[in-house]
Chains A and B, each alone.
Chain A
């Protein structure tokens, strides 16, 4: 069986060029159209970001005078420096700067733990199946659909009982609880395609549960780990409801600060500062997408050759 697998992989690698060569010869005009379509979609995806960037570089007067879609007449970086360090997000005019640390302290452990747990769950659910494993997975998966609005009050009570209300570990715990479903889903689906024969062979050779995981599954888990990390990082970094409800005055995450900057009800709205702050708050997630996105596909290709 294993030999069968490798032979398949080899032919897959050599098999692809043929149709490509053929296509290249015949289809010059369609390729132009292809690139045009792709470029058109680039515009669709980039538009809102452009609106934000452009408006973050204008003085407020130009925006309220009605030129929301126009390029700045007078370029300025003042909104950016204001959003970073001097804008009022509470009683103190601190800008968004201090809140970055809070978010990172919360996101890193939450992502790490939920990814590791998800990987282990996926491993058990596919390679060590037992009666009811699929049902169990279904139940975990259904948990992803629970609306966060209804968990707010009981979760607050539980955190209080556990003594971690209003703390960073409390926040990490909440995100772990509601992130575990998806990380399990990702790893389970990925490991399901992984040849069980390799695991069985190692088992026969006497390798234990964790050894098999570490030596055999983990080394090829790169791509799915990236997907899972991207997903968890984005969701946790962008979460507002939990961040606002379960944090304390000294652990409020970035989104709460951004919300405070943007959502004042009866104050003057400095849209340019809002946009600058919004882009700033999104930079870490954007960075993860740009950097990890590359590894994501590189890893995926390697993964598909290996099987």
Chain B
């Protein structure tokens, strides 16, 4: 009966709403900005159609860290929310504590195993059990470019690292800021992610960022990565430190800077400023990483409230994974759906391109969790790496010291 209602459309849902008064779901999340919160409203409406009320518990800040703090207080006080938005290793950590509900039945019924790529399943599942439902896939190795400036300077879309440097040089000669960047640890990390992948290739990324192999971390290739970060630092203006990412994006929008390296959420800023993808701005993969996709994925985990998953939690999980919601949500959010079997004609050009590349990368083993966004290694290691990368980018370490510090940082925090 329960499963039946879930697949029903709005007309049928009207009937069930009158039937039983199901309990409400309390959802802890950090999607509070206009577009993404509105997109989440789709989910709320969906559940309302099934007679399930939505108790909204938004806590923004620090890309979800604030919400995770609140979550800990809530769980400790014995008052856990029904469902919680989570990222990467946080899901694994909570699953280890035995706090998450097992969603295997729902997953089996809806065939999640077939449609969700293995790289995502690594986080959605713990010990063979589904514990979270992925909502979206953001990809982080994008370059955003000012098309009018590129045309003016005669820059073609750079395909390799050398192309990219040549393009940056042209911009610098023209007196522009070549690379718009905000000096915050996670932004430095996002840049580092892409440079490392471009320099060392996918195997190196796997070894260093995911397997945390000390030998690879201390290798000459790693030194080259830091050297390249130093090179990029030369193309960033002097006022970069502490700048919010969206003010960096504004520099590209306002024709002050030519490129920005940022995740796909930057698209929203361009669209909001009335720009059109392909005409006013371009989106392309970071040079030398065209084949790969670095991702982070927002997921919803259900907190176990007794023995089995409650009907409401099951309904929520199913609704999250439904094709309709995945498309509707990601159209607004700028990310792509987390399942690979959808027709995404409704997404814009960048979105469609992103989805195709995501699917291709997933099937060719080129889909990697982004280190900067907590999908390659646990929070302790990630932040320790941030410290080193940021210190190097701000000129506190030279490349050799940075490599040494990186090895130590991983060792302490493993």
Q: State yes or no: do A and B touch (Cβ within 8 Å).
A: yes
Which of the 9-residue segments A108-116, A190-198, A248-256 touches chain B? A248-256
Is A18's beta carbon under 8 Å from chain B? no
The secondary structure that dominates the A interface is loop
Within 8 A of B (CB), among A114-170: 152-153, 155-157, 159-160, 165-166
Which of the 9-residue segments B60-68, B119-127, B348-356, B399-407 touches chain A? B60-68
Whole-angstrom CA separation of A91 from B76 in the bound complex: 26
Query: Are A269 and B244 touching (Cβ within 8 A)?
Result: yes
Min C-beta distance of B395 to chain A, whole Å? 27
Minimum CB distance partner of B37 in chain A: A88
Query: Are A92 and B56 touching (Cβ within 8 A)?
Result: yes
Whole-angstrom CA separation of A270 from B78 in the bound complex: 36
Chain A, interface size category, equals 35 or more
Query: Are B253 and A64 touching (Cβ within 8 A)?
Result: yes
Whole-angstrom CA separation of A91 from B269 in the bound complex: 20
Is A267's beta carbon under 8 Å from chain B? yes
Which of the 9-residue segments B1-9, B25-33, B149-157, B377-385 touches chain A? B25-33
Query: Are A246 and B73 touching (Cβ within 8 A)?
Result: yes
Whole-angstrom CA separation of A160 from B247 in the bound complex: 42
Within 8 A of A (CB), among B35-89: 35-38, 40-41, 44, 54-64, 66, 69-70, 72-74, 76-79, 81
List of B residues within 8 angstroms of A245 by Cβ: 69-70, 73-74
Partner of A256, one of B59, B63, B73, B138: B59
List of A residues within 8 angstroms of B56 by Cβ: 90-92, 249
Min C-beta distance of B255 to chain A, whole Å? 10
Is A264's beta carbon under 8 Å from chain B? yes
Min C-beta distance of A97 to chain B, whole Å? 15
Is B287's beta carbon under 8 Å from chain A? no
List of B residues within 8 angstroms of A165 by Cβ: 74, 77-79
Partner of A160, one of B32, B35, B76: B76
Minimum CB distance partner of A256 in chain B: B59
Is B364's beta carbon under 8 Å from chain A? no
Is B254's beta carbon under 8 Å from chain A? yes
List of A residues within 8 angstroms of B78 by Cβ: 160, 165
Is A203's beta carbon under 8 Å from chain B? no
Min C-beta distance of B43 to chain A, whole Å? 8
Whole-angstrom CA separation of A252 from B73 in the bound complex: 14
Min C-beta distance of B115 to chain A, whole Å? 24
Interface string of A41-76 (1 = CB under 8 A from B): 000000000000000000001001110000000000
Is B22's beta carbon under 8 Å from chain A? no
Min C-beta distance of A238 to chain B, whole Å? 15
Is B94's beta carbon under 8 Å from chain A? no
Whole-angstrom CA separation of A223 from B76 in the bound complex: 41
Query: Are B73 and A91 touching (Cβ within 8 A)?
Result: no
Partner of B66, one of A61, A65, A244, A250: A244
Is A89's beta carbon under 8 Å from chain B? yes
Q: Which of B37, B40, B273 has the most CB of A within 10 A?
A: B37
Min C-beta distance of B266 to chain A, whole Å? 9
Whole-angstrom CA separation of A64 from B326 in the bound complex: 31
Is A281's beta carbon under 8 Å from chain B? no
List of A residues within 8 angstroms of B263 by Cβ: 266
A interface residues with partner B (beta carbon < 8 Å): 61, 64-66, 87-93, 152-153, 155-157, 159-160, 165-166, 244-246, 248-250, 252, 256, 259-270
